[in-house]
Chain A
Amino acid sequence: MTITIRDEELILAKERAIYLPKEKLLAISDLHLGKAAHFRKAGLQVPSTLAQSDLNRLSFLLDEYQPETLLINGDMFHHELNTDIDDFERWKGQYPNLKFVLVKGNHDKLDETQYQNLGIEIHEPSYCTSKFCFIHDAIKCKEENLYPISGHIHPGVSVYGKAKQYLKFPCFYFGGKYAVMPAFSAFTGLSLIRPKVSEQVYAITPTKVVKV
């Protein structure tokens, strides 16, 4: 689905990403790489194919949009370096010309050198384009003239209908003051948001992005 914010086109992908054609930039948030392996190290049986499936979905997006920059809007790594991250490094080798940008989030606590070794450019607290300010947590944004696009909360939306019907989806949120992206990782929960009537929310179903 294509929408226009501040006169610029944004493509909302059902794979939980935003593409900015003008900037040739693909943005995702809350990738939480290594979360599965972190759980497994602690004796919790998360399927080990989980991290790989997140990366496969990302590959699909990269093929589809051919961006120059991949922006990760915080919480790229869940906790520490582990085998999931080794897999990520191998996967990243397929994209030598792609620029990896990480806007630091609360989970991103590796040493500077570790990001350097992985070939990831660090931005703190935000990465700005001409119209938008990508930042992990929107309330910390100080760029007054730009529209903040954040992540962090893993937003979800519930819709109600006649006859006591009720549905819940991950979503993109575009509010009066800022926007929130859905969490990219499949191994994350949802925190439900309550939009005002004037605000735009796009629900992500298994087959498409739908405005609600």
Chain B
Amino acid sequence: MSLTKTKGYQQVLAWLQKDDKKPFKFQEEAWSYYAKGYSGLVNAPTGFGKTFSLFLAVVIEGINLAEQKDKKKVKDRLQLIWITPLRSLAKDIARAMREVLAELELDWYVGVRNGDTSQAEKLQQKKSMPEILLITPESLHLLLAQKGSSTLFESLKCIVADEWHELLGSKRGVLVELAISRIKGLQKANKKQHLRVWGISATIGNIEEALDVIEPDTTAKRTIIKAKLSKKIIIKSILPDDIETLPWAGHLGLKLAYKLLPIIEKSKTTLIFINTRGQSEMWYQHLLNLEPELAGRIAIHHGSIDFELRNWIEDALHTGMLKAVIATSSLDLGVDFKPVDTVVQVGSPKGVARFLQRAGRSGHSPGETSKIYFLPTHALELVEAAAIKEAAKNNDIESREPVILVFDTLIQYLVTLAIGDGFDDKIIYEEVKNTHAFKMLLPEEWSWVMQFITFGGDSLTAYQEFKKVAKDEEDGLWKVKSRQIAMRHRLHIGTIVSDAMLKVKFLSGGYIGMVEEYFVSKIKAGDSFTLAGRILEFVQIKDMTVIVRKSKQKKAMSPSWLGGRLPLSSNLGTVLRKKYNEVLNKTHQEEELDIVYPLFLVQQERSHVPRNDELLIEMINNKEGFHLFAYPFEGRLVHEILAALVAYRLSKLLPITFSLAMNDYGFELLSDIEIPMDDAIAYEVFSPENLTEDISLSINSTEMARRKFRDIACISGLVFQGYPGKYVANKHLQSSAGLFFNVFSDYDKHNLLLRQAYDEVFYQQLEEPRLAAALHRIQQSTIVITHPTRFTPLSFPIKVDSLRANMSSEELEHRIERMKVEIFK
């Protein structure tokens, strides 16, 4: 029978027609492929009902199956698992799904399960699973960590990974891959294989690969469904009246805030995206100071604000009660807030895909236009704005590289299974091998991982008393016996690593949000800070909770939350280099570039403006030391490696010590002695020859791998990160990732987690082809070396950057000798 004749299809169609709507072509395609047993990927812009393309496919089948079935039979339980990367998405999608189910009179229950779900509701779900479960990757693994979890998925028909492009390039994506592999395996063991796996993704550069990751079995029925719909986007920069208004460096951009007020005024609701949580707090205060009338009509939303408050803000957004909301990436994705008609991006979004995603938050309905304003935080960002506009126009969208061979995540997953119903290592090995992430896993690597969780390392030297995962003699499955280890593991499932967080609560009751333990350790009773847009006075810490009262002060410090700065994508880097050319020779139409022109004259006068076929090197000598600045425009991550590489090669010429800094445009080497540099040396140190070997050596001599190890140690369970409100006092088991890094480097060189730290630098951060391409490009370029007497518009932002690394070819003792002079002078 063709799908269109089925009862389910007719019912859905009738419901749509009631509202004068009809399905989009891609939705019908998805329903039809799903009914034929396909897995796949749906690629559609936001605001065109991509949720319905798959949700309704499952619903149609559900109605049809219910029709065929004996009414008295026990109800099938779990039908659909819907994985969302953000908690805020789940609530919204659940609401939409419930409305549809009620209209269609399908007696299905929609459950939500994530960090915000109450204990009572989780227990209820354990007794009786809802038909549709909205879940985060982490909570899905927590489900696998429950006893009896293997029976939960017997009737499951479909797993959907929503916003798959967001999960794809991270270890959270690997969590999804592993969970899918297990659920498939459970159905296979039961001989009831009806599972189909689908991803929903915005447009990315590698959409075919995205399918390979979510359904790695190339023999399975799979397809990509593309919605041929385009979204109209208007991009406008908020320009300063003259370039002097904007600082040469900085990330805050408050100077132009007054220009936002008329935009907020004439829009229904405005979403203002700020790149970090700390800055969003400052913006909130600043907007209120500028326009006190906004009080009560603007709100602030980020991941460290308490669940109840976030809920309230999201509801208020839906009803249009708010004029503006200041948000971080916590509101990046798919949530459909109808009243939002304007979006503002403060500071560079660093990537085309992210910018378009955020733009899509406005004009969310089909046919509407998205409108986004770009507010620069420093002068050079205006060039970035022009570059983003051009890349967006050409639809030049980045790829998301899937993560592979992450042993920390594999180790965590295996212990998760061992806490649940236990696992058979032969079966799981096959399942894991069949995921995209671990298809290159070698048998010896697998046995190392098994030894690591069972013997605690190499079995030759391991002691008897290591306790973690052991074989259950009765059923031959690997399990965790210790309740304490199980409990600790459950608290740490997930791959997002943050500093220990403490909940913040009013003296009189009521939670406000969370701050990092590190921040609290620096403030005294009576000090004030801002959180969730309120000014709070610190009273004390009690039971691992920060107690506060309302502060009478008008101004206070903002807590800083750790969180990586986003690197510039390579697509944007290329366009950016082109834009630099266009500014000086005025071959452009962009108003941004006109405004920034005087700054380029300053750059030209003090040094040189690099053209597309040039590499500029600036040598500046001042009382701080000897600086070398170079500007390849390849993005922060590549510059970090490039800086280490150039420093390493220079340090082979003479004993020298460097301090390294970088931003998206270039990097700095700073030394206390003169840095040798001329044309010949420049081509030499930027040479693509011996690249692989020299990179390994330069990575080894910086702290890059050690920094990567911080996350790896947490994910693999070596180090506890603490848990908000659930702090386990385990002082005598505490240590740091850095200590483990040292100990493994000294005593366990073959540790795969250690290797992973280097691999993450080498393969993920480095993007070796990108680096090689950059070096080849530089070899073809003219290298221009200048000796400015003052910092230039290009060098200044790098100089003030505080994140630094070191590289040295001098003996430690010599260095200490010079340094002590500095101290006791």
If A40-B456, A41-B467 touch, whether A161 touches B747 (CB-CB below 8 Å) is no
**Min CB gap B815→A, angstroms:** 7
**Min CB gap A39→B, angstroms:** 6
Whether a CB of chain B sits under 8 angstroms from the CB of A3 is no
**Min CB gap B295→A, angstroms:** 43
Q: What are the interface flags for A18-57 relative to B under an 8 Å C-beta threshold, 1 for contact and 0 otherwise? A: 0000000000000000000111111111111110010000
Q: Is the Cβ of A159 less than 8 Å from the Cβ of B465?
A: no
Which residue in chain A gives the minimum CB-CB distance to B819?
Answer: A161
**Min CB gap B537→A, angstroms:** 29
Q: Which of A128-136, A162-170, A174-182 contacts B (4 or more CB under 8 A)?
A: A162-170
Question: CA of A59 to CA of B691 in the docked complex: distance in angstroms?
Answer: 44
Q: Which residues of A contact B457 (CB under 8 A)?
A: 45, 47-48
Whether a CB of chain A sits under 8 angstroms from the CB of B429 is no
In the complex, 13 of the A-B residue pairs with CB atoms within 8 angstroms, ordered by the A residue number, are A43-B456, A43-B482, A43-B488, A44-B733, A49-B748, A53-B747, A83-B463, A159-B819, A163-B671, A164-B624, A164-B670, A165-B806, A210-B813
Whether a CB of chain B sits under 8 angstroms from the CB of A142 is no
Q: Is the Cβ of B822 less than 8 Å from the Cβ of A160?
A: yes
Whether a CB of chain A sits under 8 angstroms from the CB of B681 is no
Whether a CB of chain A sits under 8 angstroms from the CB of B735 is yes
If A45-B456, A83-B464 touch, whether A163 touches B670 (CB-CB below 8 Å) is yes
Q: Is the Cβ of B820 less than 8 Å from the Cβ of A48?
A: no
Q: Within residues 55 to 88 of chain A, which ones have a CB less than 8 A from any CB in chain B? A: 78-79, 82-83
Whether a CB of chain B sits under 8 angstroms from the CB of A139 is no
Q: Is the Cβ of A165 less than 8 Å from the Cβ of B659?
A: yes
Q: Which of B29-37, B607-615, B692-700, B736-744 contacts A (4 or more CB under 8 A)?
A: B736-744
Identify A79's interface contact among B480, B732, B746, B824, CB under 8 A: B732
Whether a CB of chain A sits under 8 angstroms from the CB of B626 is yes
Whether a CB of chain B sits under 8 angstroms from the CB of A115 is no
Given A186-B746, A189-B739, 13 additional A-B pairs, CB 8 A: A43-B480, A44-B718, A44-B733, A48-B461, A49-B461, A82-B465, A163-B625, A163-B657, A164-B659, A165-B672, A166-B659, A166-B806, A212-B820
Whether a CB of chain A sits under 8 angstroms from the CB of B462 is yes
**Min CB gap A13→B, angstroms:** 16
Q: Which of A4-12, A118-126, A201-209 contacts B (4 or more CB under 8 A)?
A: A201-209
Q: Within residues 786 to 811 of chain B, which ones have a CB less than 8 A from any CB in chain A? A: 804, 806
Question: CA of A44 to CA of B740 in the docked complex: distance in angstroms?
Answer: 10
Whether a CB of chain A sits under 8 angstroms from the CB of B120 is no
Q: Within residues 549 to 571 of chain B, which ones have a CB less than 8 A from any CB in chain A? A: none
Whether a CB of chain A sits under 8 angstroms from the CB of B452 is yes
**Most chain B CB inside 10 Å of its own CB: which residue of A37, A43, A189, A207:** A43
If A47-B748, A163-B672 touch, whether A205 touches B732 (CB-CB below 8 Å) is no
Q: Which residues of B contact A210 (CB under 8 A)?
A: 813, 816-817
**Min CB gap B451→A, angstroms:** 10
Whether a CB of chain A sits under 8 angstroms from the CB of B823 is yes
Whether a CB of chain A sits under 8 angstroms from the CB of B818 is yes
Q: Within residues 453 to 487 of chain B, which ones have a CB less than 8 A from any CB in chain A? A: 456-457, 461-468, 480, 482, 484-485
Q: Is the Cβ of A47 less than 8 Å from the Cβ of B733?
A: no
If A38-B732, A159-B819, A212-B816 touch, whether A46 touches B670 (CB-CB below 8 Å) is no
Binding site for A on B (CB under 8 A): 452, 456-457, 461-468, 480, 482, 484-485, 488, 624-626, 657-659, 670-672, 717-718, 732-733, 735-736, 738-740, 742-744, 746-748, 804, 806, 812-813, 815-820, 822-824
Question: CA of A203 to CA of B804 in the docked complex: distance in angstroms?
Answer: 23
Q: Which residues of B contact A206 (CB under 8 A)?
A: 812
Q: Which residues of A contact B463 (CB under 8 A)?
A: 37, 40, 48, 83
A contact residues, total (Cβ < 8 Å) = 41
Summarize A's interface: helix, strand, loop or mixed.
Answer: loop
Which residue in chain B gives the minimum CB-CB distance to A212?
Answer: B820
If A39-B733, A189-B735, A189-B739 touch, whether A162 touches B822 (CB-CB below 8 Å) is yes
Closest 7 CB pairs of A and B: A163-B625, A161-B819, A43-B468, A162-B672, A47-B747, A163-B672, A164-B659
Which residue in chain B gives the minimum CB-CB distance to A162?
Answer: B672
Whether a CB of chain B sits under 8 angstroms from the CB of A140 is no
Q: Which residues of B contact A91 (CB under 8 A)?
A: none
Question: CA of A186 to CA of B748 in the docked complex: distance in angstroms?
Answer: 14
Q: Is the Cβ of B739 less than 8 Å from the Cβ of A161?
A: no
Q: Is the Cβ of A211 less than 8 Å from the Cβ of B820?
A: yes
**Min CB gap B687→A, angstroms:** 26
Question: CA of A184 to CA of B671 in the docked complex: distance in angstroms?
Answer: 34
Question: CA of A39 to CA of B713 in the docked complex: distance in angstroms?
Answer: 14
Q: Is the Cβ of A161 less than 8 Å from the Cβ of B484?
A: no
Q: Which residues of A contact B625 (CB under 8 A)?
A: 162-164
Q: Is the Cβ of A37 less than 8 Å from the Cβ of B465?
A: yes
Q: Is the Cβ of A167 less than 8 Å from the Cβ of B670?
A: no
Q: Is the Cβ of A43 less than 8 Å from the Cβ of B659?
A: no
Question: CA of A84 to CA of B179 in the docked complex: distance in angstroms?
Answer: 39
Question: CA of A41 to CA of B657 in the docked complex: distance in angstroms?
Answer: 43
Q: Which residues of B contact A188 (CB under 8 A)?
A: 739
Q: Which residues of B contact A207 (CB under 8 A)?
A: 812-813
Q: Which residues of B contact A44 (CB under 8 A)?
A: 717-718, 733
Q: Which residues of A contact B718 (CB under 8 A)?
A: 44-45
Identify A42's interface contact among B484, B740, B812, CB under 8 A: B484
**Min CB gap A22→B, angstroms:** 29
Question: CA of A159 to CA of B819 in the docked complex: distance in angstroms?
Answer: 7
Question: CA of A160 to CA of B672 in the docked complex: distance in angstroms?
Answer: 12
Question: CA of A210 to CA of B818 in the docked complex: distance in angstroms?
Answer: 12
Q: Which residues of A contact B671 (CB under 8 A)?
A: 163
**Most chain B CB inside 10 Å of its own CB: which residue of A79, A161, A167:** A161
Whether a CB of chain B sits under 8 angstroms from the CB of A187 is yes
Which residue in chain A gives the minimum CB-CB distance to B734?
Answer: A189
Q: Which residues of A contact B624 (CB under 8 A)?
A: 162-164
Q: Is the Cβ of B732 less than 8 Å from the Cβ of A165?
A: no
Which residue in chain B gives the minimum CB-CB distance to A206?
Answer: B812
Question: CA of A42 to CA of B213 in the docked complex: distance in angstroms?
Answer: 35
Q: Is the Cβ of A42 less than 8 Å from the Cβ of B672?
A: no
Q: Which residues of A contact B468 (CB under 8 A)?
A: 43
Question: CA of A203 to CA of B819 in the docked complex: distance in angstroms?
Answer: 12
Question: CA of A123 to CA of B672 in the docked complex: distance in angstroms?
Answer: 50
Q: Is the Cβ of A41 less than 8 Å from the Cβ of B465?
A: yes
Q: Is the Cβ of A48 less than 8 Å from the Cβ of B739?
A: no
Q: Is the Cβ of A165 less than 8 Å from the Cβ of B816?
A: no
**Min CB gap A69→B, angstroms:** 29
Question: CA of A206 to CA of B488 in the docked complex: distance in angstroms?
Answer: 36
**Most chain B CB inside 10 Å of its own CB: which residue of A83, A163, A167:** A163
Which residue in chain A gives the minimum CB-CB distance to B817?
Answer: A210
Which residue in chain B gives the minimum CB-CB distance to A40?
Answer: B466
Question: CA of A6 to CA of B658 in the docked complex: distance in angstroms?
Answer: 41
Question: CA of A46 to CA of B820 in the docked complex: distance in angstroms?
Answer: 36
Which residue in chain B gives the minimum CB-CB distance to A166?
Answer: B806
Q: Which residues of B contact A39 (CB under 8 A)?
A: 733, 735
Q: Is the Cβ of B747 less than 8 Å from the Cβ of A50?
A: yes
Identify A205's interface contact among B658, B736, B812, CB under 8 A: B812
Q: Which residues of B contact A162 (CB under 8 A)?
A: 624-625, 672, 818, 822
Q: Is the Cβ of A189 less than 8 Å from the Cβ of B456?
A: no
Q: Is the Cβ of B456 less than 8 Å from the Cβ of A48?
A: yes
**Min CB gap B483→A, angstroms:** 12
Question: CA of A49 to CA of B743 in the docked complex: distance in angstroms?
Answer: 10
Q: Which residues of A contact B672 (CB under 8 A)?
A: 161-163, 165
**Most chain A CB inside 10 Å of its own CB: which residue of B482, B658, B747:** B747
**Most chain A CB inside 10 Å of its own CB: which residue of B735, B819, B822:** B819
Question: CA of A48 to CA of B732 in the docked complex: distance in angstroms?
Answer: 18
Q: Which residues of B contact A48 (CB under 8 A)?
A: 456-457, 461-463, 466
Q: Is the Cβ of A46 less than 8 Å from the Cβ of B733?
A: no
Question: CA of A212 to CA of B820 in the docked complex: distance in angstroms?
Answer: 5
Q: Which residues of A contact B658 (CB under 8 A)?
A: 163
**Min CB gap A34→B, angstroms:** 11
Q: Is the Cβ of B824 less than 8 Å from the Cβ of A164?
A: no
**Min CB gap B454→A, angstroms:** 10
Question: CA of A42 to CA of B812 in the docked complex: distance in angstroms?
Answer: 37
Question: CA of A167 to CA of B718 in the docked complex: distance in angstroms?
Answer: 26
Question: CA of A44 to CA of B485 in the docked complex: distance in angstroms?
Answer: 10
